[in-house]
Structure 1
Amino acid sequence: MPSLVFSGRELDQYRRRRNAAPSPDSFGIDFQQCPYSCSDASSCKLRCRVAEAPRSVFSMEDSPSAVSSGGALRVRRGVDISELFMPASKVSQSRGQSTLLSISTSAARSFCLICGAKPQHQRALICSMACDEKVRLRGHKIMRIPYDHASHKSIVNQFESSWRHTGKKCPAVKHVYLIVSPKLVVDRYEAYRERVEARGNFAATGRSAGNENRRWHGTRRECDLGEDGQTEPCTLPTCSLCKIVRESFDLRFFKGRTGWGRFGRGIYTSSTSSKSDDYACDATAQSSLKSMILAKVVVGRGCKMRYDDTTLTAPPLGYDSVLGEKGARLNYDEVVVYSNEAIRPAYLILYEV
């Protein structure tokens, strides 16, 4: 089994944390919400948080005496030990915090969130239709993605590399979740993508089917979804985030916060995370985190536009979307689609305010 290697100093820090809170629940484990359906510490699959330590966390091939003498102890891969030290991105490492996360993410791996098997695609989170059905039968709406998963690393990298506002410091990502959309939403999205691909034949030119892209969307959160083990969306009518998580995007709520649309009545996203941050609003006074959605968008053939056209209710003839280009009236890019089927929420991230 692959392993992480920690120095004696790092393990001393870990043990001090553990001694202060020896109970698994002290690490914030909510086994009712565990994406692996764990019922207690003894059955935990050790991918969500450290539940049994050090017996089940540390490999027995390394003796404790080696650590006490300045050596290193191996930690089993799959244990999200970085959760105990809380830095969640390269940004937080630059602030002089622990380097444990850099160790765990540098060896990112791929595994199914349900059964643990290795999926065919490196960043896939669910390996099969059978596991997908299990997710839906269990009623999951969001599932936390462990720090050592390749998908987690990919999403954090996209967030940090697309933070382009020079006047805003890139915040640290704390949590990343998979959004489990209703099957009807996924089926309609995939059918739409197939239709766009049939028209544009994007895959033949090396692009993804339907010219699918991941784009950021900032919206309003009025609850603690994603914090403290809370994985059930609220039902507050004004919590736009939870409504999107539960039901996906809906054009009926166009103009909900901004009051207008530069390119008409559409659903707006951006490749620039710092731009979407301008629209991310957290109404929970107690929270120190903000939320943002990373959506899958069928861009298809995009019509590049630099000037406002607030009358649009569909892309120009022969196009599938509108691409608002930087310059003229825009400081950063926008992607606008005019059909609910052209977009679906894929991931939820929580990051520092």
Structure 2
Amino acid sequence: MSDVCLQCGYYAKDPAHTFCDKHCARDAANNAPSLIKIPRDHVMYNNAASAFYGGWNGTPPPIRTIYLVTWTQESRNEFEAYRDKIESDEDFIAMGKYAGNERKRFRGAERACTIGENGNVTMCYNGDCKLCETLREGFRSYLDLKRSTGYHGTRLGPGLYSTCDTSKAAKYAINKVPSNVHALMLCRVVIGHPYVTEREMPHLQQPPPGFNSVYARPGPSSHFNTDETVVYTSRAMRPAYLIIY
């Protein structure tokens, strides 16, 4: 399986990082935000596809394409500073976890253009296209909308929702224009110390004291049929992959 750096296409990527070295990371940031198509035989494709298929409840649709989402240096710095702050408070690495208890979670968004299909990697500026808005700018604008209007529900308050359940996230991957495919984001999320609940808590504006996120645990007596993880700051989440299916 290939592990070539997707920026230079020559050296092997650093196992702990997206690219092979700081020079390729800088070049990618200078061209960000952008989408880089990932070859099917690449380790990053395999990781994202495994999460997609493994998280689908039922028979999953076939994946057409997977793209890597690149970030500006400013966006990366903000995310990593937040992650490192959470890590310094808890020392998740010593527990055998990633720094800041970072995980990958799925999230859907409305798509009002044809980004991702037929090789189109140009992000639009249509106000109805929440997908391109997120790919360009992150989740800050969406979180502001959520806080002011309750957009797409607030069962655990106005936060940023994500899930391991691909089919759950896919319900929000809504096409606003005719299309034969859908687009789903696989995000990097700094979960930190999660508050676990089986009850709706729509009053939440932030995690309970001492916690960094809220985890909705599904179960027979739970209000939730599927898992949901909620963070309440846009610094804690970034789109990492765009999966076209």
> Normalised by the shorter chain, which TM-score bucket?
over 0.9
What is residue 170 of structure 2 aligned with on the other side? 277
| TM-score (structure 2 length as normaliser) | 0.93
Alpha-carbon offset, residue 317 of structure 1: 0.4
1:263 pairs with 2:156: yes
Per the TM alignment, residue 227 of structure 1 is displaced from its structure 2 partner at its CA by 1.4
Shift of 1:170: 0.8
Q: CA separation of 1:302/1:159 partners in 2, compared to 1, >3 Å: closer, same or farther?
A: same
TM-score normalised according to structure 1 size: 0.65
- Give the CA RMSD over aligned residues: 1.6
CA gap 1:160/1:206 in 2 versus in 1, 3 angstroms: same
Q: Structure 1's 140 and 268: CA in aligned 2 closer, same or farther, altered over 3 A?
A: closer
Q: Corresponding residue for 1:133?
A: 26
Q: 1:305-339 CA distances to partner (integer Å, 9 max, x unpaired)? A: 11111110100000000000103211100000001
Deviations 1:64-114 (A, max 9, x none): xxxxxxxxxxxxxxxxxxxxxxxxxxxxxxxxxxxxxxxxxxxx2201012
Quote the Cα distance in structure 2 between the aligned partners of 1:237 and 1:257. 18
Amino acid at match of 2:164: S
Question: Paired residue for 1:96?
Answer: none
Could you tell me how far apart the structure 2 residues matched to 1:344 and 1:114 are?
A: 19
Residues 1:222 and 2:115 aligned together: no
Aligned to 2:135: 245
Q: Are positions 1:147 and 2:37 aligned together?
A: no
> Residues 237-257 of structure 1: CA distance to partner in whole angstroms, max 9, x if unpaired?
110000000001121121778
How many residues align? The count is: 239
1:213 and 2:107 aligned: no
Counterpart residue identity of residue 142, structure 1: L
Tell me which of 220, 224, 232 is aligned to 1:330.
224
Partners of 1:277 and 1:322 in 2: how far apart? 21
Deviation at 1:128, TM superposition (A): 1.5
Identity percentage over the alignment? 31
User: How far does the alpha carbon of each residue in 1:327-353 deviate from its partner, in whole angstroms, 9 at most, with x for none?
Assistant: 3211100000001111111110100xx
Measure, in 1, the Cα distance between the counterparts of 2:154 and 2:68: 28
1:291 matched to 2:183:
yes
Decide whether the 8 Å contact of 2:26 with 2:73 is kept in 1.
no
Q: Which of 66, 79, 82 does residue 176 from structure 1 map onto? A: 66
Does the CA contact (< 8 Å) of 1:181 and 1:248 recur in 2? Answer: no
For residue 204 of structure 2, give the secondary structure of its aligned residue in structure 1.
coil
Q: Distance in 1 between matches of 2:77 and 2:6?
A: 21
Larger RCO (alpha carbons 8 Å, 6+ apart)? 2
For 1:125 and 1:267, the matched residues in 2 are separated by 24
Determine if contact 2:33/2:72 at 8 Å carries over to the other structure: no
Instruction: Return 5+ residue gaps in structure 1 as ranges.
Output: 1-107
Q: Distance in 2 between matches of 1:260 and 1:158?
A: 25
Mapped contact 1:216–1:276 kept (Cα < 8 A): yes
- Could you say what secondary structure the match of 1:204 adopts? helix
Whole-Å separation in 2 of the counterparts to 1:316 and 1:254? 19
User: Alpha-carbon deviation of 1:284?
Assistant: 1.9
- Aligned residues of 1:291 and 1:348 also touching (Cα < 8 A): yes
Deviation, structure 1 residue 258: 4.7
Aligned partner (choices 309, 313, 320) of residue 205 of structure 2: 313
SS of the aligned residue for 2:182 comes to strand
- SS of 1:118's partner is coil
Higher-Rg structure is 1
